[in-house]
């Protein structure tokens, strides 16, 4: 909500108060600018020849903000009221800055054209800057632009030191920078550092940002990150109902987000936040945080921006880049998908159901192979299904292809007749998202009720985790896992024990295969089990321990008795018949 | 007069040439909605009833409508010429596929009469040649129609057509008029002595050839009276006597069916105890043999009793077959559903139809020996293997009480021992139980609609995060605040709550301290064995504590410890409630135990930003003011906001304290929701709940349990109201969240089950640090939806508890629980 810009006079320049000319704001006045979300004021707490400071103070009234937005913005979230917007230098401050200093940002100043055209000593202060990535990221973004950066993390709550630091930093920038550039740096980078959702007021803000970054962004070493964050924020899928439930359970909505598979950008690099994961984890793991759902939605603004930031996300380390050899390697998720497809082909499956299809990567790979005549994808997350539908371009798919595919919401702990009737079922990186006490229900649904002839299961191999530097005790107590939603990760022995027990209970035999490099010491990163129904035996538990006899005679008896109950055809007869 | 008897719920196919008077006949004898005519369907698909090119589509529609009606069990009349064999065949197959009977009614009129009738109808412009052809088809058909698969073919000629009277025949299985009470008896298998003992212990007076119950009860035998045991003739004599006297009903078992065939000289394999029956019967007089054979031959597949609420069949019956008649219905009733596979003993593998059963009728059966009868989705198997040395079991209906007597000895060795209990099905829930747009019938709030998108969101939360549905027997409803206060500085105040209840006719309310933690439902069983028996949870756990969205509170070892300690602390309740389990409504403290991520990510973050930014803002404004700039009231306002931010921080921090293991965790119960046989949330006043809970006497510093402070208020006493308001003020000024005001006694109708009155400082967490600056705007809040939602969720919650207490199957309990979660995802202002 507060930004101060200070300058000092130097030998070569005029008085410090010339800042007022550059900003087009008179140092002796308090000027007000109405914004849709509050009021912005510009005034000068100090204005001497030697030193001059302009303050931009933005008063945001969250109550009014929520109420004024009416129907267009669902007023469903507590966060709409209890929000940092009245205090933090959020994207709202960037919007206000862009508006209040519109002329200054163009670099036009008829009164002091010389001053406007050249770098000058500036000091910018933001007492509460939301900064995802911490002080280090603030330095990475501002230092290449010629700023000397001082960023201090703000503790979350002094009363609870164990909570650690907040996501805010107190930021001071000092440097010899052209004022118009300085303003544009802030205008673009404040929202990038903020990186929160729900902050965009209108879609055209994006285009404005693109224009503001025009002069310097293309050569910024972090242009990839800037690009991704700012596009990533446009995750547009409103999930009101889901958000309500998260709130109800005192949960953070993001923590409940469905575990979607990592996404690949068209140029083959890992997209989403994969690059940023490297900040917190020295080596990028196989399971980057869930990428923002619509990160690569083809919108015009993103195309524009991509052009501006030419080169885009290139340089972000690809999945699996943990390799010590440094080779360019095939990402693990691709290896896994290929391994599953190969297993299905080998099994001779013609119809396949992907249980827990996520954003549809496997479904897409299966669709590309005509041998798979019927493919179903199911997931419990409607959001995942919506993304899958979009990525598969379901609405534009040719009829013949479309006819092979079915997508529907289903839960693996509820028996579902729609799961049945496929040659093979796939549980790719799914079981580890199920609480262990609920696994028997899943087993029953998949192996007992749906009962495909083959079931392919993949899951992480916990032993391999020691090969990921970022998992090395980084998560504190307990065994660190590859994804926050993982409820367990099994060793090879644990997986084998589970799979064999399931196979025994439901009449399958099972074999195991490695996926990815099979490390001699710790095994492969992913383990796969391929279950196939035993040809001639019935599972112990399905067997009715006390079935009555007459098995063989039932059939003949029924055939002999093949008259409809009480149905003996008689022309106009009135004979009364027995029940059978 | 000619009587045309048609099946009450089957298909009637009219047969006759164009102009034979079928439509007139149909209109005279049947309701318009019962008659589906091909002309009508032709009109539906072509706007022209005589457009012959539309005939194939018209018959598609006709078959669809007829099939739907038959599935729903409605008598249906098809008005089409049906003079050709293949037209009739399709309809007969349709009836068969819905397991109902079909009758044909042929209107055989002279050709010239038909031609004359058509001639006067302007829309029938086809010539007499068509009639002639139809007549020929009909003539050819008549002699063969009896083989088409109709139950009966009624042929009406000349005056018979006008004079005919249609009467309805009930299905043989329809005994819905009998309301019992019944004693339903499992597989006897020739164990006469045990049968007599059982009947006597049920209060019957037994003679050699019959039995009567002084209270007029009716016995219902599930079949398999014969084979294996020592006295098949004795059992038959007794049961035949009872059936003849009208004191018993009996359905056919597979053993009767086979015995009849053996007695009839058919070649059957003499095994499974058939030999014993044949030998024993051979020693009987021939007349008895004849009677016994006729009796067994006349046994029908199943009975529907007590208005359709009870179905008895030897091997059970799925809902779609109740009251239906067909070969496969009979096969199912006698032999059960099988997967078509056989096991290592060569015995058929049963299909677990009962696990999928969702019908409202109770289904009672035998056939498969079980160690102990067990309810599965309102169905129960009573075959406890008397002849194998188990016991003979009866179910009293409607009491649902099981009575059994042990076998006197092992009369017959089983092919293999009666095994362990049939494995419980952990996936007994089906997607159809919860998904899509649903309507849930509740006892206390009528029929409640659940929208598809809300069910979809709930499905995700439920299946990804919730505890085992066997434990998830209840989710708490939302609660509305009272009407907004107009008192200066207040958004909520107890006065409005008291007024509201007084207006609704409530005389006495209780004000309960509202603990600021996380709502918790605790389901506690006395032992893991109770958990297995009553909740079907077999992983050794003896309880669960979960959140408003059904998530377990702790994902680690603390959960087991929490449950064990709670079970120890609530021990006095087992005797008080005469129950081995209990469901408690509680608040788990501190708030930070569950919500720490939320508090840090949202509340503490806002506080941190405010504390960082506001002092700087005050400083620059002060400097500006010192320079003489007119900053107006902005400086003063910013200082006030700095103060508000500090109060906001204090408000959330009060509900946070460090927790290590379970140290620091407390659970405050305030209602006993249910226990064995009782939905106490419905049946007991809050005074009872609080009194009973207060007897648990939590020890401060030692117990997990914490008390819930409360005051009772007679609403007609101004003094008591004022006292309660003072209590609330003190509570909230000391940092308390507020209180909940509830009518002491269970209320019905539109009265809220409770309203929450939250304190001024607490509301900063809800409406933001500066909400006190915007009270005028915030007072414009609308409670209607929230209050309606609270009532609907409350009704669903009580429904779940009642279903649980009454021992209804898992899916029935899960249905309203899931519905609460779905409704909670409706976008209602979350600050209310």
Same domain, A200 and A255: no
B271 close to A (CB below 8 A): yes
Q: Are B670 and B585 in contact (CB under 8 A)?
A: yes
Q: Which one, of B808, B823, B827, lies nearest residue B434 by Cα?
A: B823
The pLDDT assigned to B713 comes to 96
- The mean of the pLDDT values for chain A is 76
Q: How far is A216 from chain B (nearest CA, A)?
A: 29
Chain A 427-486, residues with CB within 8 Å of chain B CB atoms: 433, 437-438, 440-442, 444-445, 448-449
Whether A557 maps to a domain, the answer reads no
Domain end (from A221, A242, A263): A221
Please list every residue in chain B whose beta carbon sits closer than 8 Å to the beta carbon of residue A256: 461, 464-465
Helical ranges in A348-467 per DSSP H: 361-367, 382-391, 399-402, 439-443
Mean pLDDT, residues A77-84 taken together: 69
Inter-chain residue contact B151 with A564, CB threshold 8 Å:
yes
Q: Which of A108-122, A470-484, B164-178, B413-427 reaches the highest mean pLDDT?
A: B164-178
Q: Using 70 as the pLDDT threshold, list the residues of chain B that sit under it.
A: 125, 340-349, 416-427
Whether A573 maps to a domain, the answer reads no
Domain count, chain A: 3
Chain A 312-371, residues with CB within 8 Å of chain B CB atoms: none
Q: Which one, of B780, B775, B753, B776, lies nearest residue B763 by Cα?
A: B775
Measured distance CA(A45)–CA(A36) in Å, rounded? 25
Q: Which one, of B308, B321, B307, lies nearest residue B353 by Cα?
A: B321
Inter-chain residue contact B454 with A562, CB threshold 8 Å:
no
Same domain, A30 and A145: yes
Same domain, A97 and A234: no
pLDDT per residue as tens digits for the range B623-667: 999 999 998 899 999 999 999 999 999 999 999 988 888 888 999
Q: With 70 as the cut, is the pLDDT of residue A558 above it? A: no
What is the Cβ-side half-sphere exposure of residue B662, based on CA atoms within 13 angstroms?
22
Name the residue facing A549 among B154, B347, B549 (closest C-beta). Answer: B347
Q: How far is B153 from chain A (nearest CA, A)?
A: 5
The pLDDT assigned to A315 comes to 34
More reliable by pLDDT, A215 or B33: B33
Same domain, A339 and A474: yes
Whether A61 maps to a domain, the answer reads yes
A576 close to B (CB below 8 A): no
Whether A442 maps to a domain, the answer reads yes
Tokens of B647: 């109060």
Q: Are B295 and B279 in contact (CB under 8 A)?
A: no
CATH number for the domain whose boundaries are B3-169: 3.40.50.300
Same domain, A179 and A243: no
CATH 3.60.21.10 domain residues, chain B: 174-406
Q: With 60 as the cut, is the pLDDT of residue A201 above it? A: no
Find the closest chain A residue to B98 by CA distance: A564
pLDDT per residue as tens digits for the range A437-456: 899 999 999 998 899 999 99
Q: Which one, of B414, B623, B605, lies nearest residue A6 by Cα?
A: B623
Whether A510 maps to a domain, the answer reads yes
Whether A574 maps to a domain, the answer reads no
A260 close to B (CB below 8 A): no
A565 close to B (CB below 8 A): yes
Residue ranges making up the domain that contains A309? 230-329
How would you class B618 by CB atoms within 10 Å of its CB: exposed for 0-12, middle for 13-18, buried for 19 or more?
middle
DSSP assignment of B462-496 equals HHHHPPPTTT----PPP-B--SPP-STT-S--HHH
Measured distance CA(B650)–CA(B643) in Å, rounded? 11
Rounded alpha-carbon distances, angstroms, from residue A570 to B5, B76, B155, B169, B773:
13, 21, 11, 16, 89
Q: Name, in order, each residue with C-beta under 8 angstroms of A408's C-beta and a sequence gap of 6 or more.
A: A376, A378, A385, A418
Domain end (from A533, A549, A568): A533
Same domain, A73 and A120: yes
The CATH number given to whatever domain includes residue A360 is: 3.40.50.150
Strand partners, B711: B511
Q: Which H/E stretch holds residue B390?
A: none
Find the closest chain B residue to A535 by CA distance: B341
Same domain, A346 and A416: yes
Q: Are B589 and A62 in contact (CB under 8 A)?
A: no
Same domain, A35 and A108: yes
pLDDT per residue as tens digits for the range A353-388: 999 999 899 999 999 999 999 999 999 998 889 889
Indicate the pTM of the whole model: 0.79
Q: Which of A87-96, A244-253, A499-508, B319-328 has the lowest mean pLDDT?
A: A244-253
Q: Are B42 and B58 in contact (CB under 8 A)?
A: yes
Domain end (from A221, A251, A281): A221
- The model's confidence at residue A288, banded by pLDDT at 50, 70 and 90, is very low
Mean pLDDT, residues A18-35 taken together: 91
Same domain, A112 and A243: no
Q: How far is A544 from chain B (nearest CA, A)?
A: 6
Q: With 90 as the cut, is the pLDDT of residue A530 above it? A: yes
Whether A371 maps to a domain, the answer reads yes
Same domain, A398 and A315: no
Inter-chain residue contact A127 with B148, CB threshold 8 Å:
no
Same domain, A163 and A308: no
- The model's confidence at residue A287, banded by pLDDT at 50, 70 and 90, is very low
Measured distance CA(A319)–CA(B377) in Å, rounded? 49
3-state secondary structure at position A480:
coil
Name the residue facing B631 among A43, A440, A552 (closest C-beta). Answer: A43
- The model's confidence at residue A555, banded by pLDDT at 50, 70 and 90, is very low
Name the residue facing B101 among A45, A412, A567 (closest C-beta). Answer: A567
pLDDT per residue as tens digits for the range A412-438: 999 999 999 999 999 999 999 999 989
The pLDDT assigned to A208 comes to 67
Contacts across the A-B interface (CB distance below 8 Å): 404
The interface predicted TM-score (ipTM) is 0.78
B174-406 CATH fold: Purple Acid Phosphatase; chain A, domain 2 (3.60.21)
The pLDDT assigned to A528 comes to 97
Q: Name, in order, each residue with C-beta under 8 angstroms of A314's C-beta and a sequence gap of 6 or more.
A: A224, A267, A269
- Best of A64, A547, A568 to disrupt the B interface by mutation (most B CBs within 10 Å)? A547
Same domain, A367 and A436: yes
């Amino acid at each position: 909500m507060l930004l101060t810009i200070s300058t000092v006079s130097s030998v070569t320049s005029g008085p410090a108060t010339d800042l007022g000319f550059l900003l087009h704001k008179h140092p002796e006045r308090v000027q007000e600018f109405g914004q849709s979300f509050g009021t912005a004021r510009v005034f000068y707490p100090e204005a001497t020849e030697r030193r001059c400071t302009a303050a931009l103070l933005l008063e945001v009234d969250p109550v009014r903000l929520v109420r004024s937005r009416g129907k267009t913005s669902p007023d469903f979230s507590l966060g709409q009221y209890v929000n940092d917007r009245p205090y933090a230098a959020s994207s709202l401050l960037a919007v206000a800055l862009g508006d209040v200093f519109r002329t200054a940002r163009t670099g036009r100043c008829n009164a002091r054209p010389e001053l406007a055209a050249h770098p000058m000593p500036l000091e910018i202060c933001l007492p509460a800057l939301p900064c995802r990535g911490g002080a280090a990221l603030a330095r990475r973004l501002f230092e290449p632009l010629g700023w000397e950066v001082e960023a201090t993390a703000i503790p979350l709550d002094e009363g609870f030191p164990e909570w650690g630091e907040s996501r805010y930093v107190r930021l001071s920038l000092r440097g010899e920078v052209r004022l118009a550039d300085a303003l544009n740096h802030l205008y673009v980078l404040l929202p990038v550092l903020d990186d929160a959702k729900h902050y965009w007021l209108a879609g055209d803000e994006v285009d404005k940002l693109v224009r503001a970054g025009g002069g310097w962004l293309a050569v910024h070493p972090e242009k990839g990150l800037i690009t991704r964050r700012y596009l990533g924020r446009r995750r547009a899928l409103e999930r009101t109902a889901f958000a309500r439930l998260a709130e109800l359970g005192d949960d953070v909505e993001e923590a409940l987000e469905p575990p979607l598979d990592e996404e690949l950008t068209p140029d083959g690099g890992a997209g989403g936040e994969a690059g940023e994961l490297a900040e917190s984890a020295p080596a990028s793991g196989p399971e980057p945080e869930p990428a923002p759902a619509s990160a690569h939605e083809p919108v015009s603004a993103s195309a524009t921006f991509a052009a501006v930031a030419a080169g885009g996300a290139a340089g972000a380390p690809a999945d699996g880049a943990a390799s010590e050899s440094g080779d360019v390697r095939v990402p693990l998720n691709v290896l896994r998908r290929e391994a599953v497809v190969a297993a299905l082909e080998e099994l001779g499956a013609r119809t396949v159901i992907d249980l827990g299809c996520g954003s549809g990567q496997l479904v897409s790979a299966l669709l590309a192979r005509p041998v798979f005549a019927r493919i179903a994808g199911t997931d419990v997350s409607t959001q995942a299904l919506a993304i899958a539908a979009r990525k598969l371009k379901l609405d534009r798919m040719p009829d013949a292809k479309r006819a092979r595919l079915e997508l529907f919401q289903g839960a693996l702990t509820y028996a579902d007749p729609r799961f049945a009737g496929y040659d093979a079922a796939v549980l790719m990186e799914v079981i580890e998202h199920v609480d262990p006490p609920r696994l028997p229900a899943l087993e029953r649904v998949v192996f007992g009720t749906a009962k495909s002839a083959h079931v392919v299961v993949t899951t992480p191999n916990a032993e391999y985790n020691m090969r990921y530097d970022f998992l090395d005790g980084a998560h504190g107590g307990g065994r660190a896992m590859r994804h926050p939603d993982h409820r367990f990760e099994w060793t090879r022995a644990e997986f084998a024990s589970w799979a064999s027990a399931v196979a025994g209970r439901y009449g399958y035999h099972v074999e195991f295969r490695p996926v990815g490099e099979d490390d001699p010491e710790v095994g492969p990163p992913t383990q796969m089990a391929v279950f196939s129904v035993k040809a001639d035996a019935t599972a112990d538990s399905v067997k009715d321990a006390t079935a009555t006899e007459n098995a063989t005679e039932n059939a003949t008896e029924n055939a002999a008795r093949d008259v409809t109950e009480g149905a003996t055809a008689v022309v106009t007869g009135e004979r009364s018949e027995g029940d059978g | 007069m000619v009587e045309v008897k048609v099946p009450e719920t089957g298909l009637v196919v009219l047969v006759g040439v164009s102009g034979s008077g079928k439509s007139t006949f149909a209109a005279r004898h049947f309701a318009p909605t019962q008659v589906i005519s091909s002309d009508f369907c032709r009109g539906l698909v072509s706007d022209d009833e005589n457009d012959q090119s539309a005939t194939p589509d018209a018959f598609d529609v006709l078959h669809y409508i007829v099939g739907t009606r038959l599935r729903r069990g409605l008598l249906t009349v098809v008005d089409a010429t049906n003079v050709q064999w293949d037209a009739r065949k399709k309809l007969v197959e349709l009836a068969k596929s819905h397991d109902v009977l079909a009758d044909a009614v042929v209107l055989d009129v002279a050709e010239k009469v038909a031609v004359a009738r058509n001639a006067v109808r302007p829309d029938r412009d086809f010539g007499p040649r068509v009639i002639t052809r139809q007549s020929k088809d009909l003539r050819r058909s008549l002699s063969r129609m009896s083989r088409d698969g109709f139950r009966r073919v009624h042929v009406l000629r000349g005056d018979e057509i006008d004079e005919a009277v249609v009467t309805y025949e009930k299905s043989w299985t329809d005994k819905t008029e009998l309301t019992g009470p019944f004693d339903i008896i499992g597989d006897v298998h020739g164990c006469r002595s045990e049968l007599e003992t059982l009947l006597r212990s049920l209060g019957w007076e037994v003679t050699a050839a019959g039995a009567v119950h002084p209270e007029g009860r009716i016995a219902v035998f599930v079949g398999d009276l014969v084979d294996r045991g020592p006295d098949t003739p004795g059992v038959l004599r007794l049961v035949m006597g009872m059936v003849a006297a009208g004191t018993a009903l009996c359905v056919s078992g597979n053993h009767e069916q086979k015995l009849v065939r053996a007695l009839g000289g058919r070649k059957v394999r003499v095994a499974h105890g058939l030999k014993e029956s044949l030998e024993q019967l051979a020693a009987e007089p021939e007349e008895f043999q004849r009677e016994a054979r006729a009796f067994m031959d006349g046994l029908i597949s199943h009975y529907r009793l007590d208005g359709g609420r009870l179905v008895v069949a030897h091997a059970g019956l799925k809902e779609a077959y109740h009251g239906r008649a067909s070969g496969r219905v009979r096969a199912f009733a006698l032999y059960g559903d099988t997967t078509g596979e056989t096991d290592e003993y060569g015995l058929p593998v049963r299909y677990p139809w009962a696990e999928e059963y969702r019908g409202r009728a109770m289904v009672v059966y035998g056939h498969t020996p079980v160690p102990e009868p067990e309810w599965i989705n309102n169905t129960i198997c009573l075959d406890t293997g008397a002849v194998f040395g188990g016991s003979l079991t009866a179910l009293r209906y409607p009491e649902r009480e099981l009575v059994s007597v042990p076998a006197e000895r092992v009369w017959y060795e089983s092919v293999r021992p009666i095994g362990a209990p049939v494995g419980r099905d952990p996936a007994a829930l089906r997607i159809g139980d919860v998904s899509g747009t649903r309507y849930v019938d509740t006892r206390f709030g009528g029929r409640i609609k659940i929208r598809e998108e809300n069910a979809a969101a709930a499905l995700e939360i439920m299946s990804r995060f919730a505890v085992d549905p066997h434990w998830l027997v209840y989710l708490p409803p939302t609660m509305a605040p009272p009407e907004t206060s107009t008192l200066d500085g207040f958004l909520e105040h107890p006065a409005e709550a008291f007024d509201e209840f007084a207006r609704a006719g409530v005389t006495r309310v209780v004000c309960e301290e509202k603990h600021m933690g996380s709502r918790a439902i605790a389901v506690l069983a006395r032992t893991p064995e109770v958990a297995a028996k009553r909740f079907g949870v077999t992983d050794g756990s003896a309880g669960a504590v979960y959140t408003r969205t059904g998530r377990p509170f702790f994902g680690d070892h603390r959960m087991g410890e929490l449950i064990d300690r709670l079970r120890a602390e609530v021990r006095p309740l087992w005797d008080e409630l005469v129950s081995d389990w209990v469901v408690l409504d509680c608040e788990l403290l501190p708030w930070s135990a569950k919500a720490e991520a939320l508090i840090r990510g949202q509340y503490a973050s806002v506080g941190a930003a405010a504390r960082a930014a506001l002092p700087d803002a005050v400083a620059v404004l002060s400097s500006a003011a010192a320079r003489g700039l007119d900053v107006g009231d902005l400086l003063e306002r910013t200082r006030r906001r700095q103060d508000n931010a500090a109060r906001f921080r204090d408000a959330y921090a009060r509900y946070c304290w460090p927790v290590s293991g379970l140290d620091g965790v407390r659970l405050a119960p305030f209602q006993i929701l249910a226990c064995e046989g009782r939905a106490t949330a419905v049946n007991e006043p809050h005074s009872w709940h609080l009194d009973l809970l207060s007897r648990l006497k939590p020890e401060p510093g030692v117990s997990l349990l914490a008390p819930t402070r409360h005051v009772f208020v007679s609403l007609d006493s101004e003094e008591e109201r004022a006292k309660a308001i003072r209590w609330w003020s003190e509570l909230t000024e000391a940092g308390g969240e507020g209180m909940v005001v509830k009518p002491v006694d269970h209320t019905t109708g539109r009265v809220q089950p409770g309203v929450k009155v939250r304190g001024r400082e607490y509301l900063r967490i809800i409406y933001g640090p500066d909400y006190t600056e915007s009270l005028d705007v915030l007072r414009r809040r609308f409670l209607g939806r929230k209050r309606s939602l609270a009532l609907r969720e409350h009704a669903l919650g009580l429904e779940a508890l009642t279903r649980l207490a009454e021992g209804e199957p898992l899916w029935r309990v899960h249905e309203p629980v899931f519905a609460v979660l779905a409704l909670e995802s409706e976008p209602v202002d979350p600050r209310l």
